[in-house]
Structure 1
Amino acid sequence: MLRTGLFFDPYSASRLFTLCTVSPFSTSLECARKLFDQIPQPNIYTWNTLIRAYASSSDPIQCFFIFNQMLCQCSDPPNKYTFPFLIKAGSEILGLLEGQVIHGMAVKMSLDSDVFILNSLVHFYSTCGDLDQAYKVFLMIPKKDVVSWNSMITAFVQAGCLEEALELFQRMQGEGMRPNDVTTVSVISVCAKKLNLKLGRWIHSFIEKNKIEMSLILSNAMLDMYTKCGSLEQAKILYDKMPEKDVVSLTTMLVGYAQSGEFATARKFFNAMTSQDITAWNSLISAYEQSGHPKEALALFNELQLSKNAKPDQVTLVSTLSACAQLGAMDLGGWIHVYVKKQGLKWNCHLTTSLIDMYAKCGDLEKALEVFRSSKQKDVYVWSAMIAGLAMHGRGRDAIDIFVRMQESGVKPNAVTFTNVLSACSHAGLVEEGRLYFNQMQPVYGVTPQVKHYACMVDVLGRAGLLEEANGFIEKMPIIPGASVWGALLAACKTHGNVGLAENAFNRLIDLEPRNHGAYVMLSNIYAKFGLWNGVTRLRKRMRDFGIKKEPGCSSIEVDGSVHEFLVGDNSHPLCKKVYLKLDEILLNLKSVGYIADKSHLLQDVEEEDMKDQALYLHSEKLAIAYGLISIRSPVPIRIVKNLRVCGDCHSVAKLISKLYDREILLRDRYRFHHFKEGNCSCMDYW
């Protein structure tokens, strides 16, 4: 074209330039820009093409610089094709001010009635978070097309205004506009978010009745709705009928089955993927972790490490850290901390929160504080995680100090924060502080107390022995007491030995949760403490009649990166003989210093004294401590995680072992941490 002189013809040059910007064979946008700079007098079409190219690039802000050049150098004014690309660039950079300027220019040039420009503005304002302005623009469109309706419905859905989106969908049909596949994708997502299976089925039949094209995107949205609403059977029928499937289809089915606990089927979908991207790995790891299968989540993470198809990202690490926290697997959690630094992954508040939570729940509170202090960005969840960490370690005063600092930093506490603050007050016996912060929640901080906050307050009063006040507090609650509230009162009755109040709390709790095995265990403990064996027998018969089984005690301990689990009387461990020999040695040493088993923690009337001792002797935390003593060299602490509340006898034994063997033992039960050292516990026997 240069040789023949065609390049200097504006029309021919613009055709070549267009080919360079939109063709899949184009070398790069930089090359196109060099070509543009050589065109002697680019016309308005060529300028628009360049703006369009940058609007879809990784550097959309360049559109506005090019537009300024165009205003100075182009003989033709901007037209109706210029503004939609500029508005798109504004959406990409969330440039509300820039978009408003472009909007104003379109109005001045009498282009404000053009449907393409107005549709672009609806999308722009909603993307920038100005939903009111988006709706005002929508109402101004004189002749709305299907894109107009779709843009506004999508804006409502993305803003969480689900009822408004459904109402607009009805209005759309009322005004004679036929919905298309894009419309129904948005409406189906409303059904998924509302978990409204009935409406989702109706939309599905609406699509079939109106012969709306079932595009891949629409089919995937339908799959997502069915799986989220728990209708896996209908999801599978739809999946089997889909003529085309992609990684989104497979991942959606994978997540649906995994979240329903059907992990074998979920794994089949995972294995069916020709290329497992990180989203698929994340979906399965997260499903295991959130469904209470942390060991499987960690096993899958290790599998990912060996795979060359994908690399862990922040989402992977957040889920894996949560699984580490559940298991007490600090070695792997610490490795992830180092991995983030070495890989140069971008820190975000989710990752920081997960690290703090992991270190705190694995017993290394100082490391959790180190992560917290070094964090440059702290949102409400980072602060709340640190308060929770201090709370579970019994450092109530320090937790309140963090709470005060949080407010000084300008971060507003939320409902999660107050749950953690009240929990800190409960574990540290800070009754006055608990009353103060609970009473300030609504008037001072604008946070309405929920059932969990009332449960925390009952726990604060109950642990302190103020059982009548706790009971009166429940009676005055403005909302219906939940199971957690009565559970907190029942636990307090167990600690302080109030049988009458315990029976009332038990009955109220069982009315709400008939199969709550923990309630039966607690009342059995109270009866056993006072030797009321008829009551224990009656409760055990009732459990048998209703098929209710006590959750077995399980204690886990991490050694050299591997997590070992022990059940009550466990003999499945490869080193069980050494463990029991060590346990025999421990018992002899304990008896030599006057240890007598606390038999009030037995749940049944065992007549022979030796059998009573044996029953306590086989508790899972004792087995885990014995294994720790033979597997972990001093001065490394023995870290144990138990799924239930540690019993009083095991608590006493752990204190004595820490002194006799000069070992630090960190035991995390369902509610808090116990640091045993030199014969003492960090809880000061207030737990």
Structure 2
Amino acid sequence: MATLSTPTLSLPPASPTVNNDRYFANHPTLLVINECISTKCLKQVHAQMLRSGLFFDPFSASKLITACALSQFSSIDYARQVFDQIPQPNLYTWNILIRAHASSRDPSQSFILFLRMLHECEHFPDKFTFPFLIKAASELQALRVGRVFHGMAIKASLGSDIFVLNSLVHFYGSCGDLDLAYGVFVKILQKDVVSWNSMITAFVQGGCPEEALALFRTMEKEDVKPNDVTMVGVLSACSKKLDLGFGRWVCGYIERNDISVNLTLSNAMLDMYMKCGSIEDAKSLFDKMPERDIFSWTTMLDGYAKLGEYEEARHIFYKMPRQDIAAWNALISAYEQNGKPKEALAIFRELQLRKDAKPDEVTLVCALSASAQLGDMDLGRWIHMYMKKQGIKLNCHLTTSLIDMYAKCGDLEKALEVFHSAERNDVFVWSAMIAGLGMHGCGGAALDLFWKMLEAKVKPNAVTFTNVLCACSHTGLVDEGRAIFDQMEPVHGVVPGDKHYACLVDILGRSGLVGEAVELIKRMPILPTASVWGALLGACRLHGNLEFAEHACSRLLELEPRNHGAYVLLSNIYAKTGSWDRVSGIRKLMRDSGLKKEPGCSSIAVNGIVHEFLAGDNSHPLSREIYSKLDEIAATLKSIGYVPNKSHLLQLVEEEDIQEHALSLHSEKLAIAFGLISMVPSQPIRVVKNLRVCGDCHTVAKLISRVYNREIFLRDCYRFHHFRGGHCSCMDYW
């Protein structure tokens, strides 16, 4: 949650700057302007000025424009209408209207006004004009336009003006060009506190908190007295660094130096405490705050939620004086991002029922993500229809979320439809669609889309390459995967990270090139991470390579001693090679260490309700019917020659202490059986499993799809399996 306020820019004062005739400065009508408290009142003054002819005095007109454009009840449309009636607006009046537009919803209007000014005004832009134009460029992050204004200011001999330079530091920082921002900053000969604040803010917003804190120390050495804006920037740097110790020192510094603590600064301290994990400090400050706004409450709510203290978060939520959409979003996103999609969607439904606030883009992105996690296609479709009915225009964030939701819920065609209908696709939209194709085993189509992305001049990022390489892994495209990996840095300027190496190890290992995968790990320019060793261990499990498996498992456990999956994979490899004494040793080691394999869990959404099953689960209200259906399935499949692959029992290490250890009780089989008895034949059965589907369940799903003539979509933690007519989309390569 952002707390960093924009540093106060050195903008012109409200007094006139180019008014040559102030004869009417004390005219009673003009004095009334300062007393106006509404647009209606201003319109009455405007009418009086027109009747008396006062309106046609440039100074008098500028006073009216200032009130119309910059007062608390300002109306920029009305100000523009008044401005268009002035025969010869002076420079001050042009500046006021440019300033108002720079802070409006459409800052680009400032540029249009400026072009008019160059043609219609007898005066050239001054040191007050350019800061407003540069501010508008900052709002729009229009780097090229802002650089043009920079050049014009230099040509106008304003290149050393403090107002202009401070606005340029802020502008370049807002556009993410820290080098240019710092280049302007160091050229300011007489730096004021705004200069320092602008550069500190630029460093923090640009992801360089260390540099921001270093600049603060330099500021102190040069005896520049910081203000509240400075301290907001410094506290935000502490938040980004998660440096609670220095954050506490900063809070003490504020008190020792009598820096005025307003609500914005209090909120920055509160945010720092929460992000650095000190609930006690945050609660103490929150309780002492003389004034709180919605941001204060939301910071506390968000902090509790992200730390997993959901009950306290909900307590804060229901105590809030008013629950705006930011508060709802904080609660929904906390659940969604911490693997609690059901709880996230329950809050989303409560929002719909309460109607206290209207869902915004963040709400919908979180709800779509939660739907994707659960594989709840019905809710995902409903959210999509809601957006259409509300006239919500799809931006890249929503488009990406919709593609991700449809792909993860098994409707690849709908995901492609959303992708192709989007007005504009950024790198994240392309990457999401590539991921969806790869997840569904359409490696060739994923590669084709990647080439089209390059043709469209969209620069791939690290996520794109992870998704492309995963697509190659899922479909055994070894040569293509190697080629894309080799092109990452020299051709596209993306340095391969640990995820990319893990993908390539997986590509090689899955195809049986385990030795080549090991050699790749040895040549890595970065230290292999747990994901790299995990990929190698998974390949060893597929191909029964005990020698490399033991080495990979050892290295993986050095990095993650509590990784139960590593023990389970090694145990499975031992079992596959008949090393039963070693299997027993692994199981004993896990028991002694208190480690348990994550239990298999499968979910299926039916009529808007998500049903979850664990292996051997009998807690469902329809358990009797489900097990009866499983008996029927077993008998039917046996009659056509199916023989259970009992070797897969060895994978269920964590279930040795319970009776329900049989293959027929795997969670995905329970979910499929429930789907068969609960859904009409025309409905596809969509199941989501938290672990990799075992080989026996994969075989059974293929047979069920043929014998019962049903489409089954099974998403495990690696990919999608689409079963139809006795075949799977993965072609048995997973």
Is the TM-score greater than 0.5?
Answer: yes
* Amino acid corresponding to residue 197 of structure 2 in structure 1: N
State the 1:4 CA deviation: 6.5
Find the aligned partners of 1:217 and 1:548 in 2 and give their Cα distance.
46
1:408: Cα distance to partner? 1.8
Between the aligned partners of 1:575 and 1:395, the Cα distance in structure 2 is 36
Q: Which residue of 2 aligns with 1:629?
A: 676
Letter of the 2:601 counterpart: C
SS at match of 1:603: helix
Q: Contact 1:666–1:676 at 8 Å: present in 2 too? A: yes
What residue number does 1:250 align with? 297
Quote the residue 1:168 is aligned against. Answer: 215
Q: Structure 2 CA distance, aligned partners of 1:658 and 1:367?
A: 22
Q: 1:661 to 1:222 in 2, by over 3 A?
A: same
The one-letter code sitting in structure 2 at the alignment partner of 1:256 is G
Aligned pair partner of 1:568 in 587, 591, 615: 615
The structure 1 residue matched to 2:323, chosen from 244, 266, 276, is: 276
Q: 224-233 or 526-535: which moved more?
A: 526-535
Deviation at 1:102, TM superposition (A): 5.6
Structure 2 CA distance for aligned equivalents of residues 148 and 529 of structure 1: 68
Please tell me the residue identity of whatever aligns with 1:625. I
Deviation track 1:377-435 (CA, whole Å, cap 9, x = no partner) reads 22222222222212222222222222222222222222222222222222212222222
Q: Which moved more, 1:3-12 or 1:664-673?
A: 3-12
* Corresponding position of 2:581: 534
Matched residue type, 1:403: F
Instruction: Answer yes or no: is 1:260 the counterpart of 2:307.
Output: yes
Cα distance change, pair 161–542 in 1 and its aligned pair in 2 (3 A): closer
How do residues 303-452 of structure 1 correspond to structure 2 at under 5 angstroms? 303-452=350-499
Report the counterpart of residue 191 of structure 2 in structure 1.
144
Deviations 1:575-614 (A, max 9, x none): 11111111111111122222222111123899xxxx9996
Give the direction of change, closer, same or farther, for the CA distance of 1:527–1:182 in structure 2 (3 Å limit): same
Give the one of 264, 271, 275 matched to 1:224: 271
User: For residues 308 and 129 of structure 1, what CA distance do their matches in structure 2 show?
Assistant: 38
2:724 maps to 1:677: yes
One-letter code aligned to 1:602: L
Aligned-partner residue type, residue 676 of structure 1: F
The amino acid that maps onto 1:637 is: P
- SS of residue matched to 1:596: coil
Residue 465 of structure 1 is matched in structure 2 by 512
CA contact (8 A) 1:528 1:601 kept: no
1:470-492 per-residue CA deviation (whole Å, 9 max, x = no partner) reads 33333333332222222222222
Partners of 1:217 and 1:396 lie apart in 2 by 51
Aligned in 2, Cα 1:114/1:409: closer, same or farther, shift over 3 Å? Answer: closer
**Letter of the aligned partner of 2:331 in structure 1?**
L
Distance of 2:127 and 2:474 partners within structure 1: 66
Cα distance in structure 1, aligned partners of 2:235 and 2:622: 55
User: What is the CA–CA distance in structure 1 between the aligned matches of 2:220 and 2:629, rounded to whole Å?
Assistant: 77
- Alignment correspondent of 2:650: 603
User: How far apart are 1:94 and its partner, in Å?
Assistant: 4.9
Change (3 A) 1:161 1:498: closer
> C-alpha displacement at 1:185, in angstroms?
0.7
Task: Tell me the distance in 2 between the aligned counterparts of 1:684 and 1:50.
Answer: 66
1:524–1:308 CA distance, 2 compared to 1 (3 A): same
Is 1:656 aligned to 2:706, yes or no? no
Tell me the equivalent position of 2:163. Answer: 116
Q: What percent identity do the matched residue pairs reach? A: 68
SS across alignment from 2:610: strand
The one-letter code sitting in structure 2 at the alignment partner of 1:331 is D
Distance 1:576 1:41 in 2: 84
**Deviation, structure 1 residue 447:** 2.4
Q: Counterparts of 1:491 and 1:95 in 2: how far apart (Å)?
A: 48
Greater displacement, 563-572 / 515-524:
515-524
- Long gaps (5+) in structure 2: 1-28, 30-47
Q: For the Cα contact (< 8 Å) 2:406–2:412, is it kept in 1?
A: yes
User: Corresponding residue for 1:509?
Assistant: 556
Name the structure 2 match of 1:493.
540
CA distance in 2, matches of 1:6, 1:395: 74
Range with bigger deviation, 447-456 or 139-148: 139-148
Structure 2 distance, partners of 1:8, 1:398, is: 68
**Equivalent residue for 2:687?**
640
Q: 1:215 to 1:629 in 2, by over 3 A?
A: same
Aligned pairs (5 A) from 1:36-185: 46=93, 48-63=95-110, 80-94=127-141, 113-128=160-175, 131-185=178-232
The SS at the match of 2:650 is coil
Q: CA RMSD in A?
A: 2.9
Query: Hey, what's the Cα distance between the residues in 2 that align with 1:296 and 1:535?
Result: 41
Is the contact between residue 321 and residue 355 of structure 1 (CA under 8 Å) also seen in structure 2? yes
Distance in 2, matches of 1:51 and 1:436, equals 53
User: Quick one: distance in 2 between partners of 1:65 and 1:389?
Assistant: 43
SS of equivalent residue, structure 2 residue 613: strand
State the alpha-carbon separation in 2 of the partners of residues 579 and 235 from structure 1: 50
CA distance in 2, matches of 1:22, 1:326: 47
Once the two structures are superposed, residues 312-347 of structure 1 have per-residue CA deviations (whole angstroms, 9 ceiling, x without a partner) of: 222211111111111111111111222222222121
Asked whether the 8 Å contact 2:649–2:661 carries over to 1, the reply is no
Moved more, 66-75 or 277-286: 66-75
Normalising by the residue count of structure 1, what TM-score does the alignment of the two structures yield? 0.91
- Residue pair 2:710, 2:724 contacting (<8 A) in 1 also: yes
Which secondary structure does the structure 2 equivalent of 1:574 belong to?
coil
**Deviation, structure 1 residue 624:** 0.7
- Which residue is equivalent to 1:619? 666
Which secondary structure state, in structure 1, belongs to the residue aligned with residue 662 of structure 2? helix
Quickly say closer, same or farther: Cα 1:38–1:142, change in 2 above 3 A: same
Contact 1:399 1:421 in 2 (8 A): yes
Q: Distance in 2 between matches of 1:461 and 1:128?
A: 41
Aligned equivalents of 1:379 and 1:108: distance in 2? 37
User: Aligned equivalents of 2:186 and 2:125: distance in 1?
Assistant: 25
* TM-score of the two chains, using structure 2 as the length reference: 0.86
Aligned counterparts of 1:18 and 1:202: Cα–Cα separation in 2: 43
After superposing the two structures, state which structure 1 stretch, 614-623 or 560-569, moved more.
614-623
SS of the residue aligned with 1:602? helix
Residue 566 (structure 2) aligned to one of 496, 519, 523: 519
Alpha-carbon contact 2:600-2:667 (below 8 Å) kept: yes
Give the drift of 1:307: 2.3
Cα 1:244/1:468, change in 2 over 3 Å:
same
Alpha-carbon distance change, 67 to 628 in structure 1, aligned in 2, over 3 angstroms: closer
CA distance in structure 2 between the aligned counterparts of 1:362 and 1:65, rounded to whole angstroms: 47
Structure 1 distance, partners of 2:497, 2:87, is 70
Distance 1:177 1:540, change over 3 A: same
Q: Decide whether aligned partners of structure 1 residues 208 and 375 sit closer, same or farther in structure 2, where only a CA change above 3 A counts.
A: same
Aligned to 1:553: 600
Residue of 270, 280, 287 corresponding to 1:233:
280
Q: Mean alpha-carbon deviation: is it higher for 378-387 or for 575-584?
A: 378-387
CA contact (8 A) 2:615 2:666 kept: yes
CA offset at residue 574 of structure 1?
1.2
For the residue of structure 1 that corresponds to 2:528, the secondary structure is: coil
Deviates more, 1:133-142 or 1:371-380: 133-142
Query: Does the CA-based 8 Å contact 2:616-2:661 persist in structure 1?
Result: no
Using the TM superposition, give the Cα deviation of residue 645 of structure 1 relative to its aligned residue in structure 2, in angstroms: 0.9
Q: Judge conservation of contact 1:569–1:618 (CA < 8 Å) in 2.
A: yes
- State the AA in 2 paired with 1:541: K
**Structure 2 partner of 1:213:** 260
Partners of 2:557 and 2:563 within 8 A in 1: yes
Measured at CA, do residues 478 and 34 of structure 1 come closer, stay the same or move farther in structure 2, by a change above 3 Å? closer
Alpha-carbon distance in 2 for matches of 1:458, 1:134: 42
